[in-house]
A and B are shown apart, each in its own frame.
Chain A
């Protein structure tokens, strides 16, 4: 999987999905981790069943440094943690824990130096840094289907080095 926009979002999502001990699974913090923004915008849920999802997509891309043979490019992954849950306090607690877990995974990946490398394969680029950016937690609100949606919006910055 090349390190382009969808490749970065997908490999990051796959890394999160691999954390089946805490983050991802039927009885875990999140049931959906999806790098598809269409799913995000048209999420169809059953209000009777609590459901937690993370939707992510690559929003921004900038070239940070351009050298004679290689460039550093920064991609920003926007993340939206979504809870369809009538119990607002449970929803808040759950997606906040999910967010903290994602932060931990991102930082741990960097610290160990594994750097997501098992989730992508690109002969001309590698991830060199992951930074967790700020998060926002607006008050829960009803969506167009009168379902209460609790959400956290956040972003993670991924810097890659690309060479000839």
Chain B
């Protein structure tokens, strides 16, 4: 029986890999959420005629190895960090007061190679730790809901390389020792549903780099605050990749392709009907009419006036559900189709934290 607690295991994230697939030895911050212990997955290929099969030593059929992981964020900076890697394009943070602003935009069509990062799993600062390099974020799932303790459920998942091939043998990455985290995010707030605002508008006007404010709405004409009518909001994103495709032949059986596929977002609201005041979802969010949605978290104050903040904006969404029963039930789930706006952006994301957490954030 083991006498060691799993509590010894910690997670350290790097801020950016200088060379994709090569692990950073410089840690960015220590995670405070929950990670499913990563396990390697192996893919065997017996077709010797297939490109790449049999490359790994004599008679080997091993085609690929990768390590999927899933991380459940607990802190605002963690969500911002992973969102920057999911979106793929992150601007150098700008300072405002005592906070740092981040803008996470999707990669342009002409450049689809996602940034990669490393993380270390173990007891920290120890050569026996396991480093996973070449990690990409393929999916996220965020649910904000009333009830319970109101803390959101934000999970990011993807995969990376645990193994490095050396003369036909798979070994652990040699460098298993990151420095300790530079940024301490332990005192940062959780995102709580009680601190979130929801807005809808006819459109999102010029919500681009540096244009977001972190208090109040950032939408265009005819903004309506629907915070009190929202029971829950669920958003997901997928970069359209599969590990099987990315662990291609010719790459020594490890992940060597970080190009995203066609990105997809989904958005779903559960709305409370306010029959007494004549507010029903059909009049508020009209079926088959395009609108913009914003979800803004305003947390505690970083400094004098700057709050911890996270802002998701969907510039063009459309409700596709049919007619509703005006008398019952008292709530309604509304799935949206998420479209790209005129310059190809389907979701924009902004954050304001105390530290610089974007993947190209400046490590101090």
| A residues in contact (CB < 8 Å) with B | 64, 67-70, 72, 107, 110-115, 117, 124, 126, 128-129, 131, 159, 161, 163
Do the beta carbons of A69 and B195 come within 8 Å of each other?
no
User: Which of chain A's residues have a CB closer than 8 A to the CB of B10?
Assistant: 68-69
Question: Does B33 interact with chain A (Cβ within 8 Å)?
Answer: yes
Which has the most chain B C-beta neighbours within 10 Å: A72, A107, A113, A131?
A113
Residue in B6, B9, B34, B300 whose CB lies within 8 Å of A115: B300
User: Which residue of A107, A117, A163 is within 8 Å of B300 (Cβ)?
Assistant: A117
The answer to whether B186 and A70 have CB atoms under 8 Å apart is yes
For the complex of A and B, 6 pairs with smallest distance between CB atoms: A113-B300, A113-B299, A163-B186, A129-B149, A110-B194, A128-B190
Residues of B305-331 whose CB lies within 8 A of A: 307-308
B211 at interface, CB cutoff 8 A: no
Closest to A159 in B: B149
Q: Is B165 an interface residue (CB 8 A)?
A: no
Interface size class of B (residues with CB under 8 A): 20 to 34
Give the docked Cα–Cα distance between A67 and B7 (Å).
7
**Besides the known contacts A67-B74, A68-B9, A129-B150, 15 further A-B residue pairs in the complex with CB atoms under 8 A apart:** A68-B7, A68-B10, A69-B10, A69-B30, A70-B74, A107-B194, A111-B194, A111-B195, A112-B300, A113-B189, A114-B301, A124-B186, A129-B192, A131-B149, A163-B186
Smallest Cβ-Cβ distance to B300: which chain A residue: A113
Known interface pairs A110-B195, A111-B195, A161-B190; A129-B151 also in contact (CB < 8 Å) = yes
The answer to whether residues A113 and B308 also contact, given A70-B32, A159-B149 and a CB cut-off of 8 A, is: yes
Determine the residue in chain B with the shortest Cβ distance to A164.
B186
Please measure, in the bound complex, the distance between the C-alpha atom of A68 and the C-alpha atom of B121, giving whole angstroms: 12
Interface status of B217 (Cβ within 8 A of chain A): no
Contacts of B307 in A (CB 8 A): 113
9 pairs, CB–CB < 8 Å, chain A vs chain B? A67-B32, A69-B10, A70-B186, A110-B192, A113-B299, A117-B300, A129-B190, A161-B190, A163-B186
A111 to B298, CA, bound (A): 9
Give the residues in chain A near B298, CB-CB below 8 Å. Answer: 113
Chain B neighbourhood of A131, CB < 8 A: 149
Whether A114 and B300, one on each chain, are in contact in the complex, defined by CB atoms closer than 8 angstroms, is yes
User: Is the beta-carbon distance between A68 and B308 smaller than 8 angstroms?
Assistant: no
Question: What residue of chain B has the Cβ atom nearest to residue A66's Cβ?
Answer: B7
Looking across the interface, which residue of chain A has its beta carbon closest to that of B187? A126
Residue-wise interface mask of B (1-32) relative to A, using a CB-CB cutoff of 8 A (1 in contact, 0 not): 00000110111000000000000000000101
Shortest distance from the beta carbon of B297 to any chain A beta carbon, whole Å: 9
How far is B74's CA from A112's CA once the two chains are assembled, in angstroms?
19
Residue of A nearest to B297 (CB): A113
Which of chain A's residues has its CB closest to B186's CB?
A163
Q: Give Cα A70–Cα B189 distance, bound, in whole angstroms.
A: 14
Q: Give Cα distance in the complex from A159 to B194, angstroms.
A: 14
Residue of A69, A70, A107, A129 with most partner-chain B CB within 10 A: A69
Residue in A closest to B5 when the chains form the complex, CB atoms: A68
Closest chain B residue, CB of each to CB of A67: B34
Min distance, Cβ B295 to any Cβ of chain A, angstroms: 16
Are B301 and A113 touching (Cβ within 8 A)? yes
- Complex contacts, B187 vs chain A, CB 8 Å: 126
Q: Which residues of B contact A113 (CB under 8 A)?
A: 189, 195, 298-301, 307-308
What's the minimum C-beta distance from B312 to chain A, rounded to whole angstroms? 18
Residues 179-206 of B contacting A (Cβ, < 8 Å): 186-187, 189-190, 192, 194-195
B151 touches A128 (CB 8 A): yes
* Binary per-residue interface labels of chain B (220-245) against chain A in the complex, 1 for a CB within 8 Å, 0 otherwise: 00000000000000000000000000
Q: How far is the CB of B334 from chain A (nearest CB, A)?
A: 25
List residues of chain A with CB within 8 A of the CB of B189. Answer: 113, 115, 126, 128
Chain A residues, Cβ within 8 Å of B33: 67
Tell me which residues across on chain A come within 8 A of B190, comparing CB atoms. 128-129, 161
